[in-house]
């Protein structure tokens, strides 16, 4: 059976027939939909390097984070539907212009179509690593579909506390699903492999520190280190940007202050974490958010 006939790609388990025009939580059809593709210079240094990561931003999302920086494409349905062949051609174009890798951003709800497109692209000469960049709110069985196609997993681990996950992302049991998903990602790609400072294989788990939520962040960091030690990298991010006011959540209508971020970094150091990325300088700027206004050119 086609997996989109009874969609269970993520923990929402909508069980709708996307091939018959039914629309579930993520609002996606049976075609890939993307909002942008380009060289991206602002990922972790081992992903972007000096040449850039070949990012493909997928439209729609299976989360509904109230603070989403990419709200236009995750919730407002911006983007353009394309065939799997066009997807393959875009991958090859990004490789041609020098991308160090193909970076699939928010891909969960298109997994079977992405697999089809990647197989086509590889048969046409795609040879650079594939990065799977997701929220980690996904079903393990769906991730297994990609086994052997993905080189680098770049998931978030957003929350430890389920109440926070429900309040901020409408994601029941987020930590349960995300932690299992990351286990599967690690099973597939193993410990990190680098060439000249650029990651070729491995897992980097991102965690975005939210203002006034250091305690939950510490629980996330401790879990990751207890579970994986230095067999993965942890990326601690302070770039939370309140792109619009959230009146019901006043604690989120501000940036992360330096003392909060320093507290989290010091906590990670005290645990003994060495494989980590941190952010320095001014990262809480809307200029860091990609422009999705030209999706008609796709």
Q: Are 276 and 264 in contact (CB under 8 A)?
A: no
| Backbone dihedral angles phi then psi of residue 62, each to the nearest 5 degrees | -95, 5
In a domain, 191, yes or no: yes
Provide the 8-state DSSP code for 51.
Answer: T
Rounded-to-integer distance, Cα 73 and Cα 58, Å: 8
Averaged confidence pLDDT in the chain: 94
Domain count, the chain: 1
Q: What is the pLDDT of residue 27?
A: 95
Structure tokens at 72: 């236009």
In sequence order, what are the residues at sequence separation of 6 or more whose Cβ sits closer than 8 angstroms to the Cβ of residue 31?
Answer: 81, 82, 83, 113
Q: Compute the average pLDDT of residues 15-27.
A: 97
Predicted confidence band of residue 287 (pLDDT cuts 50, 70, 90): very low
Which residue, 47, 1, 9, is CA-closest to 181? 9
Percentage above 70 pLDDT, the chain: 94
In a domain, 24, yes or no: no
Q: Which domain holds residue 278?
A: 29-297
Decide if 5 is inside a domain: no
Whether 131 maps to a domain, the answer reads yes
Residue 105 scores a pLDDT above 60: yes
Q: How confident is the model at residue 262, as a pLDDT?
A: 97
Answer yes or no: are the C-beta atoms of 189 and 203 closer than 8 Å: yes
Evaluate whether residue 15 is within a structural domain: no
| Residue written as token pair 């050119």 | 297
Answer whether 0.85 is exceeded by the pTM. yes
**Maximum Cα–Cα distance for the chain, whole Å?**
53
Say whether 156 sits in a helix, a strand or coil. Answer: strand
- How confident is the model over 204-235, as pLDDT tens digits? 999 999 999 999 999 999 999 999 999 999 99
What lies within 8 Å, CB to CB, of 111 at 6+ separation is 3, 9, 142, 143, 145, 146
Angle between helices 174-189 and 162-169 (to 10 degrees): 100
Pairing of strands 102-105, 130-134: parallel
Task: Give the domain CATH number at 142.
Answer: 3.20.20.70
Q: Considering the domain boundaries, does residue 4 fall inside one?
A: no
Q: 124 versus 76: which is more confidently predicted?
A: 124
Residue 268, domain member (yes or no): yes
Q: Are 25 and 61 in contact (CB under 8 A)?
A: no
pLDDT-derived band at 94, boundaries 50, 70, 90: very high
In a domain, 12, yes or no: no
Torsion of CA 156, 251, 163, 177, to 10 degrees: -10
């Amino acid at each position: 059976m086609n997996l989109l006939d009874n969609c269970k790609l993520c923990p929402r388990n909508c069980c709708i027939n996307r091939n018959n025009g039914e629309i579930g939580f993520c609002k996606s059809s049976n075609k890939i939909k993307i909002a942008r593709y380009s060289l991206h210079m602002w990922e972790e240094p081992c992903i972007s390097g000096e040449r850039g990561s070949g990012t493909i931003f997928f439209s729609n999302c299976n989360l509904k984070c109230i603070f989403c920086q990419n709200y236009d494409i995750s919730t407002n349905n911006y983007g353009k539907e394309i065939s799997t062949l066009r997807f393959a051609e875009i991958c090859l174009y990004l490789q041609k212009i020098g991308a160090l890798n193909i970076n699939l951003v928010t891909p969960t709800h298109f997994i079977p179509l992405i697999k089809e497109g990647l197989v086509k692209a590889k048969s046409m000469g795609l040879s650079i690593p594939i990065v799977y960049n997701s929220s980690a709110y996904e079903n393990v069985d769906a991730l297994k579909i990609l086994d052997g196609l993905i080189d680098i997993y770049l998931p978030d681990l957003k929350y430890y506390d389920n109440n926070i996950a429900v309040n901020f992302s409408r994601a029941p049991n987020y930590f349960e699903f995300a932690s299992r998903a990351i286990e599967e990602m690690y099973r597939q790609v193993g410990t990190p492999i680098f060439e000249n400072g650029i990651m070729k294989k491995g897992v980097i788990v991102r965690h975005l520190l939210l203002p006034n939520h250091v305690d939950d962040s510490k629980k996330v960091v401790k879990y990751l280190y207890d579970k994986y030690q230095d067999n993965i990298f942890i990326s601690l991010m302070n770039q939370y940007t309140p792109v619009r006011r959230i009146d019901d959540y006043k604690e989120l209508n501000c940036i992360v202050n330096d003392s909060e971020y320093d507290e989290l970094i010091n906590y990670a150091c005290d645990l003994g974490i060495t494989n980590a990325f941190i952010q320095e300088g001014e990262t809480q700027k809307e200029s860091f958010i990609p422009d999705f206004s030209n999706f008609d050119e796709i």
